[in-house]
Amino acid sequence: MAKSRHAVPDTTIRTLGPAKIGTPLRHPRYVDETRPLKLVMTSEELCELDNETMLLDFEKAGPREKLYFDPPKTKCAIVTCGGLCPGINDVIRAIVMESHYHYGIRTVLGIRNGLRGFIPKYGYDLKELTPQNVSSIHQFGGTILGSSRGPQDPGEIVDSLERMNVNVLFVIGGDGTMRAASAIVDEVERRRRKIAVIGIPKTIDNDINFITRTFGFDTAVEKATEAIQCAHVEATGMDMGIGLVKLMGREAGFIAAQATLAMQEVNFLLVPEEPFAFDGERGLLMAIERRLLHRGHALIVCAEGAGRDLLEESRRTDASGNVRLGDICGLLADRMKAHFAARNLEMNMKFIDPSYIIRSVPANAGDRVYCGFLGQHAVHAAMAGKTGMVVTQIKTSMAHLPLELVTSKRRYLNTDSDYWSSVMEATGQQNYFIAQ
């Protein structure tokens, strides 16, 4: 194995976040520690801190001088869980390449179809991953390993890891998967095994706590803007034209907001974080009407989780049980049709839902670079014997974060931020359509 030219010590990244000066280093645990790291502050306390801009320290990612595992004897495994996201294959590829070429590790196993792949009753084969068979996988969207949703029994998973003699497990997945990874770490510790578990957080919605950029997000936004551009063309192709675009984002509107910034033609943006009202002089419907009468067309982008309260209210009041009401865009379409019909105005709506198109494409160059970093640093961390952590970018540096931090709560759009203010400027949208 080539010795790292650029080994870095366990120094910290000083950054500025919602924590008091003096917050202890947020280092992850080590495989050979007998007890979990005692944090001076729990992650709950940490997350409850106000927004004072103060120093927060994270452990810097990078190769370490001293390896915990002996590479020729180390066996790695990779598992990919949950929904697809651009760049999963890039991360897999980077882990395999780094393990093989940088450390000289001989075996990297691919677990099939998510956590199910550990469970004997599903009967899935392993897939051995080599530099040869992963060399072109980054050209494809999705995951070559397959995925599945939902947890599996940590005991069975660790049984499987032991049977396979795996020393290092890389877990690529969302917040549910990171909780599963925590459970695996606990089970490994309970059994006093020396198995490192390293998470690589994945979410198309970009809503993982502490993690300002998840891989694949930029690519998803790029594809989302194409759908918005098409809706813009459709809306302006007819008099009184409305383009309505639905984008992913059940809990958080990051994709919709960022795509709106990229495609500065959007007039109305609806996200879960910002409630709105249909009715009244200051409601959404009148705002759309004014826009149509004034400019001849309107472009609406709607995150799938927007207006949840309106959906529920609609369900309560609509005894007929219209099935489309499960969907905010269906409700909005119905309400617009009714509104314009009642006012005897023409309206030509074109609805576009790119759905999975934005998440199943290959990663763009920026995401590829990021996925490469994630894979490399995940291997560095594991080989140094760290466990119970994720690799991620904090501001502009790569860092280690204890698993507890990323699973403790979800991240949302801050609608009281400069960012959101720029989004509002981009739409020209007033928030006067919020119910009084």
Active site residue ranges: 205
Q: Classify 290 as helix, strand or coil.
A: helix
Would the CA dihedral through 253, 254, 255, 259 be positive or negative? positive
Interaction of residue 212 with a copy of itself, rule CB under 8 A: yes
Task: Consult the annotation and say whether 110 binds a ligand.
Answer: no
Residue from 116, 202, 335, 411 binding a copy of itself (CB under 8 A): 116
Residue from 6, 35, 38, 192 binding a copy of itself (CB under 8 A): 6
Residue from 28, 87, 110, 142 binding a copy of itself (CB under 8 A): 142
How many residues bind a copy of itself (CB under 8 A)? The answer is 91
Nearest to 375 by CA among 185, 172, 105, 146: 172
According to DSSP, the β-strands at 127-129 and 107-110 are: antiparallel
Residue from 231, 266, 384, 391 binding a copy of itself (CB under 8 A): 231
Q: Which of residues 31-60 bind a copy of itself (CB under 8 A)?
A: 53
DSSP assigned state of 208: B
Residue from 194, 295, 422, 432 binding a copy of itself (CB under 8 A): 422
Task: Consult the annotation and say whether 174 binds a ligand.
Answer: yes
CA distance 340 to 335: 9
Residue number with CB closer to a copy of itself (134 or 390): 134
CA distance 380 to 378: 6
Is-contact 211 252, C-beta < 8 A? no
Q: Classify 237 as helix, strand or coil.
A: coil
Is-contact 352 243, C-beta < 8 A? yes
Rg of the chain over CA atoms, in angstroms? 24
Interaction of residue 124 with a copy of itself, rule CB under 8 A: yes
Interaction of residue 130 with a copy of itself, rule CB under 8 A: no
Strand partners, 79: 171
Residue from 138, 202, 291, 386 binding a copy of itself (CB under 8 A): 138
Tokens encoding 193: 């095994």
Q: Which of residues 353-392 bind a copy of itself (CB under 8 A)?
A: 353-357, 360-361, 364-366, 368-369, 372-373, 376
Q: Which of residues 59-78 bind a copy of itself (CB under 8 A)?
A: 61-63
Q: Which residues, at least 6 apart from 296, have a Cβ–Cβ distance to it below 8 Å?
A: 236, 239, 240, 241
Residue number with CB closer to a copy of itself (34 or 53): 53
Q: What's the N-to-C CA distance of the chain in angstroms?
A: 66
For residue 55, give the amino acid letter.
L
**Residue carrying structure tokens 């980054």:** 138
In the bound complex, what is the minimum distance in angstroms from residue 35's beta carbon to a copy of itself?
30
Name the one range near a copy of itself by CB under 8 A: 1-9, 159-167, 187-195, 270-278: 1-9
Interaction of residue 8 with a copy of itself, rule CB under 8 A: yes
Nearest to 30 by CA among 311, 398, 389: 389
Instruction: Kindly write out the interface string for residues 243-282 of this chain, putting x where it contacts a copy of itself by CB under 8 A and - elsewhere.
Output: ---------------xx-xxxxx-----------------
Indicate the annotated binding residues: 83, 149-150, 174-177, 203-205, 248-250, 304, 356-359
Indicate the annotated binding residues for substrate: 203-205, 248-250, 304, 356-359
